[in-house]
Amino acid sequence: MIANDEMKSTVWKTTEALPLSAESLRMLFENKIPLIRIEQFAAPQECKMLVTQANLLGFDAYQNVNPKIERIGITVFEYNNIGKKDYFQAVAQASKEQYRITSASFNPLERLMATIQNQTGATARIASELLYGSYHAGLTRKIEQGTQLHIDYAPSEQPGWEVGTVVAQLSWNLYLQLSSNNHGKTYIYDRQWYPGDERHKLDSYGYSDKVVSGASSIVFQPQVGDVFIFNTRNYHTVESTKGHRMTFTSAMGLLPSGEIIFWS
Ligand SMILES: O=C(O)CCC(=O)C(=O)O
Ligand SMILES: [Fe+2]
């Protein structure tokens, strides 16, 4: 039982990004470290080809999100309002679009799942439900005007979905295109979401700065080709960029069984 706000913060044992291993992944799920970095996960040319294909296909903006975020692919976040059945009906089309991007270069999700299985021994698979089948996993996303302070945590946001049964949730981003070394940084706070925080929610996804008052934070500046993984139950925010900022990303969660599932 959490007694007060103070106990919710300052739990990280380091402020450094660690390389991927069974141990670092466990500590990230347990929120004992802020960040895992996989350097040179993809070659610059591989990233460039993904960017070209994504721009050819064209992006849609997230619904009900300000400032604007663009993406190719579908999200459980948006289908919360539309309906679960509709999400699963849209999965096939979303996979087709993803294939049009990745077939010209490589599939970052498949590479990440293989890397995780090889380096940690965990079972990694795309999330699925008995009744509906496979989730969609993998967004090509442009966050160029920044984000609000937010969390991504299916147990609170998608309680009626199988992804809502994860015991911890992370996000991984492969940085495909960045414009400037001084903008578009990502901030992560040493402060996780608790149900009482809902009184500080501002709109469809943003929270007031009050929830992180007094909490320490880390900031990272990605390079093209890097993967960064962090715990999205922790409050986080992305700065605006002058120019382009494109990533390939999905959510990943730990099931009580120890399996790691991926979805968007
Ligand atoms: O683009 C980023 O650096 C992080 C975006 C984000 O909010 C997430 O992956 O959950
Ligand atoms: Fe996020």
Atom 9 (ligand 1): residue with closest C-alpha?
Answer: 171
Q: Is 140 in the pocket of ligand 1 (CB under 6 A)?
A: no
Q: Report the pLDDT value the prediction gives residue 6, as an integer from 0 to 100.
A: 44
Inform me whether the pLDDT recorded for 243 exceeds 80.
Answer: yes
Residue range 68-112, pLDDT digits in tens: 999 999 999 999 989 999 999 999 999 999 999 999 999 999 999
Inter-residue contact 162 to 128 (CB < 8 Å)? yes
At residue 50, what are phi and psi to the nearest 5 degrees?
-65, -40
Residue range 10-25, pLDDT digits in tens: 689 999 999 999 999 9
Q: Report the pLDDT value the prediction gives residue 4, as an integer from 0 to 100.
A: 46
10 Å Cβ neighbour count for 195? 7
- Closest of 33, 26, 10, 17 to residue 190, by C-alpha: 10
Cα 10 to middle of ligand 1, angstroms: 21
Mean pLDDT computed over 181-204: 94
Q: Report the pLDDT value the prediction gives residue 9, as an integer from 0 to 100.
A: 61
Q: Report the pLDDT value the prediction gives residue 246, as an integer from 0 to 100.
A: 98
- CATH for 5-263 is 2.60.120.620
- Dig out the tokens for 19 from the structure: 């390389």
Mutate to test the pocket of ligand 1, among 173, 179, 241 (most ligand atoms within 8 A of CB): 173
Burial of 5 (0-12, 13-18, 19+ CB in 10 A): middle
Range name among 140-149, 160-169, 178-187, 235-244 with the lowest pLDDT average: 178-187
SS3 state of residue 18: strand
Q: Report the pLDDT value the prediction gives residue 181, as an integer from 0 to 100.
A: 72
Atom 3 (ligand 1): residue with closest C-alpha?
Answer: 186
- Quick one: which ligand is closest to 69's CA? 1
Which pTM does this prediction carry?
Answer: 0.96
Inter-residue contact 73 to 136 (CB < 8 Å)? yes
10 Å Cβ neighbour count for 184? 22
10 Å Cβ neighbour count for 198? 10
**Domain-wise residue ranges, the chain:** 5-263
Please report the sign of the dihedral spanned by the C-alpha atoms of residue 20, residue 133, residue 63, residue 179.
positive
